[in-house]
Structure 1
Amino acid sequence: MKKARVIYNPTSGKETLKRNLADILDVLERAGYEASAYATTPAPDSAMLEAKRVGKAGFDLVVAAGGDGTINEVVNGIAPLKKRPKLAIIPAGTTNDYARALKIPRNNIKDAAEVILKDQTVKMDIGKTNGLYFINIAAGGHLTELTYDVPSELKSIFGYLAYLVKGAELLPRVKPIKMHLEYDDGIYDGNASMFFLGLTNSVGGFEQIAPDAKLDDGKFSLIIVKTANIFEIVHLVALMMNGGKHINDKRLIYTKTSKLTVKTPESEGRLMINLDGEYGGDAPMTFENLHNHIEIFANTDMIPEDALSDTEEEAYEEVSKDFIKEVEKLTDEDIDGDGKIADKK
Structure 2
Amino acid sequence: MNRRVLIIVNPHAGKGMIKRYLCDVIDLFVKHQWQVSVVTTQAKGEATQLASDAALHYDLLVCSGGDGTLNEVVSGLVKDERHIPIGYLPAGTTNDFASSLQIPKNNLPAAAQQIIDGKGFLCDVGHFNDRIFMYVAAFGAFTEVSYSTPQDFKNNFGRAAYILEGIKSLTNIVTYHLKVECENELIEGDFIYGQISNSTSVGGFQAMSLKDVQLDDGLFELLLVHRPNNLLDLQTIIAALLTQDENSSWLVHRKLSKVKITCETPVPWTLDGEFGGNHQTMVIRNLPKAVEFIVRNEEQPLV
Whether these two folds match at TM > 0.5 is: yes
Structure 2 residue 35 is the aligned partner of structure 1 residue 39: no
The answer to whether the Cα contact below 8 Å between 1:94 and 1:156 also exists between their aligned partners in 2 is: yes
The answer to whether the Cα contact below 8 Å between 1:185 and 1:257 also exists between their aligned partners in 2 is: no
Question: How far, CA to CA, are the matches of 2:278 and 2:253 in structure 1?
Answer: 23
Q: What does residue 273 of structure 2 align with?
A: 277
Q: What does residue 27 of structure 1 align with?
A: 28
**SS in structure 2 opposite 1:154?**
helix
Q: What does residue 135 of structure 2 align with?
A: 136
Question: How far, CA to CA, are the matches of 1:31 and 1:67 in structure 2?
Answer: 26
Structure with a larger share of its residues in strand? 2
Question: How far, CA to CA, are the matches of 2:290 and 2:218 in structure 1?
Answer: 10
Question: How far, CA to CA, are the matches of 2:60 and 2:270 in structure 1?
Answer: 28
Q: What does residue 65 of structure 1 align with?
A: 64
The answer to whether the Cα contact below 8 Å between 1:48 and 1:74 also exists between their aligned partners in 2 is: yes
Q: What does residue 224 of structure 2 align with?
A: 224
Question: How far, CA to CA, are the matches of 1:145 and 1:16 in structure 2?
Answer: 25
**Greater RCO between the two (CA within 8 Å, min separation 6)?**
2
The one-letter code sitting in structure 2 at the alignment partner of 1:87 is: I
The one-letter code sitting in structure 1 at the alignment partner of 2:298 is: D
Cα gap change, 1:19 to 1:188, in 2 (>3 Å): same
Cα offsets for 1:281-319 (capped at 9, x unmatched)? 22212111110111101225399xxxxxxxxxxxxxxxx
Question: How far, CA to CA, are the matches of 1:202 and 1:16 in structure 2?
Answer: 21
Q: What does residue 294 of structure 1 align with?
A: 291
Cα offsets for 1:52-80 (capped at 9, x unmatched)? 1112x242211000111111111111122
Q: CA RMSD in A?
A: 2.1
Question: How far, CA to CA, are the matches of 2:88 and 2:197 in structure 1?
Answer: 19
Structure with a larger share of its residues in helix? 1
State which drifts further: 254-263 or 153-162: 153-162
Question: How far, CA to CA, are the matches of 2:173 and 2:205 in structure 1?
Answer: 21
Cα gap change, 1:91 to 1:250, in 2 (>3 Å): same
Say which one has the larger Rg.
Answer: 1
Q: What does residue 213 of structure 2 align with?
A: 213
Question: How far, CA to CA, are the matches of 2:282 and 2:207 in structure 1?
Answer: 26
The answer to whether the Cα contact below 8 Å between 1:90 and 1:113 also exists between their aligned partners in 2 is: yes
**SS in structure 1 opposite 2:293?**
strand
The one-letter code sitting in structure 2 at the alignment partner of 1:38 is: V
Write the mapping of 1:136-155 to structure 2, written as runs, cut at 5 A. 136-155=135-154
Cα offsets for 1:15-36 (capped at 9, x unmatched)? 3312322222222234443221
Question: How far, CA to CA, are the matches of 1:23 and 1:275 in structure 2?
Answer: 32
Q: What does residue 161 of structure 1 align with?
A: 160
Cα gap change, 1:185 to 1:221, in 2 (>3 Å): farther
The answer to whether the Cα contact below 8 Å between 2:118 and 2:297 also exists between their aligned partners in 1 is: no
Q: Across the two proteins, how many residue pairs are aligned to each other? A: 296
Cα gap change, 1:126 to 1:241, in 2 (>3 Å): same
Question: How far, CA to CA, are the matches of 1:85 and 1:67 in structure 2?
Answer: 19
Structure 2 residue 109 is the aligned partner of structure 1 residue 113: no
Q: What does residue 91 of structure 2 align with?
A: 92
**SS in structure 1 opposite 2:224?**
strand
Cα offsets for 1:160-191 (capped at 9, x unmatched)? 22222222222121132101111224111111
Question: How far, CA to CA, are the matches of 2:7 and 2:144 in structure 1?
Answer: 33
The one-letter code sitting in structure 2 at the alignment partner of 1:263 is: T
Question: How far, CA to CA, are the matches of 2:60 and 2:296 in structure 1?
Answer: 17
Q: Provide TM-score, normalisation by structure 2.
A: 0.90
The answer to whether the Cα contact below 8 Å between 1:208 and 1:240 also exists between their aligned partners in 2 is: no
The answer to whether the Cα contact below 8 Å between 1:147 and 1:167 also exists between their aligned partners in 2 is: no
Unaligned residue ranges in structure 1 (runs of 5+): 304-345
Structure 2 residue 52 is the aligned partner of structure 1 residue 52: yes
4+ residue runs over 4 A deviation: none
The one-letter code sitting in structure 2 at the alignment partner of 1:66 is: G
Percent identity, please.
32
Cα offsets for 1:146-168 (capped at 9, x unmatched)? 44432322222222222222222
Cα gap change, 1:108 to 1:148, in 2 (>3 Å): closer
The one-letter code sitting in structure 2 at the alignment partner of 1:276 is: D
Residue 236 of structure 1: CA displacement? 3.1
Residue 143 of structure 1: CA displacement? 4.3
Cα gap change, 1:15 to 1:164, in 2 (>3 Å): closer
**SS in structure 2 opposite 1:248?**
coil
Residue 12 of structure 1: CA displacement? 2.7
State which drifts further: 121-130 or 288-297: 121-130
Structure 2 residue 3 is the aligned partner of structure 1 residue 2: yes
The answer to whether the Cα contact below 8 Å between 2:147 and 2:274 also exists between their aligned partners in 1 is: yes
The answer to whether the Cα contact below 8 Å between 1:248 and 1:254 also exists between their aligned partners in 2 is: no
